């Protein structure tokens, strides 16, 4: 007959006498995280978070795109890893691979950079050597999509340019990390020549060699801005390679005092053309300027350059931009023909005789056809100050030492 005695309780331990034999029973020791296994034997158990490690941490917010996503186990092997992300309302699976020893999971190389503005969910199942399984679910969110920066470059891809071309990149947002941008932008030339950067303010970066390019030079711009942090919460988005070729060497000198323009090509004079330059009230800038744009016909409105309502000509023919402030070399059909070569009457531009609608056989038409973006036009004897290096592609008016000092890396 089984004799049941009195139970004596002390804390979480209860001793019970059954049939003269003492059996042991222990309740869950939450503070110790232990379970009963046999009489008086403890087996340590670990939580899923102690077995399975996930980075970024569970519940993390505003995670940077460059932080690494990684899943691993302290011991045992990974049996299943599933990562999903929600971005712009859509849900996507993230491909990855478990290491040969079964202990680590990483995303595929092309997906290792986290997608901003997304929520990630990580579901993992792991198994230890005794066949016990642990499962863990974690989530984290990345930073919101940042403000993006884009660089607009001159010249265009595959364009043939003049020997005075200055490669210019204008950014749509101010750049604070200018050194980081310089490291991400590479300009090379073949035949090889040193090409140096110079910042004009915080949103424009120009490149040029010490002297004019040699004809036939092939120049490559490698924009590697994607993912580059250029300011707080502002990142580049471009990955682009641009090529342009330097054509023949044409240089033009305008002597405003003598009202004459001389054109040289490959060192030989090819033409002398009478011109009209800026009047005594609105003199033409002196110094080196570079043709940055060409227009068969364009509108010129005095209000856009600070001259009030003095003129508004809707059909200026054969127009070539020399500065951002509004200096052009263009065809002029409204001034009497006798003006050219005798008087300076413009508001700062350089005018060549032309006909309304643009005559390709006129002095302006012939010069327009022979000119390339990147050709240098040098003005002398106008009585005006030298054009600022950052006004258009006028960086040739800066000494090489001063130019190279404009780099954020030097």
Active site residues: 330, 349
Which of helix, strand or coil describes residue 307? Answer: coil
> Given the structure tokens 């595929």, which residue do they identify?
108
> Which residues does 171 contact at the CB level (< 8 Å), separation at least 6?
149, 150, 151, 152, 181, 203, 204, 205, 230
CA atoms within 13 A on the CB side of 46: 18
How far apart, in whole angstroms, are the C-alpha atoms of residue 400 and residue 385?
20
Q: 242 near 223, Cβ under 8 Å?
A: yes
The order of strands in the sheet holding 234-236 is 147-149, 234-236, 229-231
326 DSSP assignment: S
> Given the structure tokens 């509108």, which residue do they identify?
299
Region for 198 from its dihedrals, namely left if φ exceeds 0, alpha if ψ lies in -120 to 50, beta otherwise: beta
354: nearest Cα among 248, 282, 240, 275 = 275
How many residues belong to the chain? 410
Alpha-carbon torsion, ordered 54, 56, 61, 65, to 10 deg: -140
Residue 161 tokens read as 């340019």
Q: Where are the alpha helices (DSSP H) in 149-308?
A: 178-184
């Amino acid at each position: 007959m089984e004799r049941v005695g009195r139970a004596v309780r002390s804390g979480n331990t209860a001793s019970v006498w059954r049939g003269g034999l003492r059996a042991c029973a222990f309740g869950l020791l939450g503070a110790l995280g232990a379970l009963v296994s046999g009489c008086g034997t403890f087996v340590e158990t670990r939580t899923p978070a102690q077995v399975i490690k996930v980075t970024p941490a569970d519940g993390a917010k505003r995670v940077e795109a460059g932080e690494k996503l990684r899943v691993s186990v302290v011991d045992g092997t990974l049996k299943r890893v599933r990562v999903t992300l929600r971005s712009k309302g859509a849900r996507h699976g993230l491909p990855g691979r478990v290491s040969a020893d079964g202990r680590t999971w990483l995303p595929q190389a092309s997906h290792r950079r986290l997608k901003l503005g997304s929520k990630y969910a990580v579901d993992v199942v792991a198994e230890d050597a005794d066949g016990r399984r642990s499962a863990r679910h974690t989530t984290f969110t990345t930073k919101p999509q940042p403000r993006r920066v884009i660089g607009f470059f001159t010249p265009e891809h595959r364009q043939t340019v003049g020997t005075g071309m200055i490669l210019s990149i204008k950014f749509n947002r101010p750049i604070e990390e200018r050194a980081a941008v310089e490291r991400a932008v590479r300009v090379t030339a073949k035949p090889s020549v040193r090409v140096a950067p110079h910042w004009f303010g915080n949103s424009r970066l120009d490149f040029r060699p010490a002297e004019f390019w040699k004809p036939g030079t092939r120049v490559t711009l490698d924009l590697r801005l994607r993912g580059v942090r250029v300011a707080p919460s502002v990142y580049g988005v471009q990955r682009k390679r641009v090529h342009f070729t330097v054509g023949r060497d044409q240089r033009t000198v305008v002597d405003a005092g003598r009202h004459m323009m001389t054109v040289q090509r490959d060192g030989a004079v090819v033409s002398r053309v009478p011109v009209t330059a800026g009047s005594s009230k609105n003199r033409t800038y002196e110094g080196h300027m570079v043709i940055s744009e060409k227009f068969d016909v364009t509108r010129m409105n005095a209000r856009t350059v600070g001259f009030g309502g003095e003129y508004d000509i809707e059909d200026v023919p054969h127009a070539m931009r020399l500065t951002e402030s509004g200096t052009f070399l263009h065809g002029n059909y409204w001034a009497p023909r006798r003006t050219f070569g005798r008087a300076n009457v413009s508001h700062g531009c350089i005018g060549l005789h032309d006909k309304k609608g643009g005559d390709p056989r006129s002095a302006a038409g012939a010069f327009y056809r022979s000119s390339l973006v990147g050709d240098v036009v040098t003005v002398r004897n106008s009585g005006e100050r030298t054009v600022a290096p950052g006004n258009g592609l006028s960086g040739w008016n800066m000494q090489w030492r001063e130019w190279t000092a404009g780099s954020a890396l030097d």
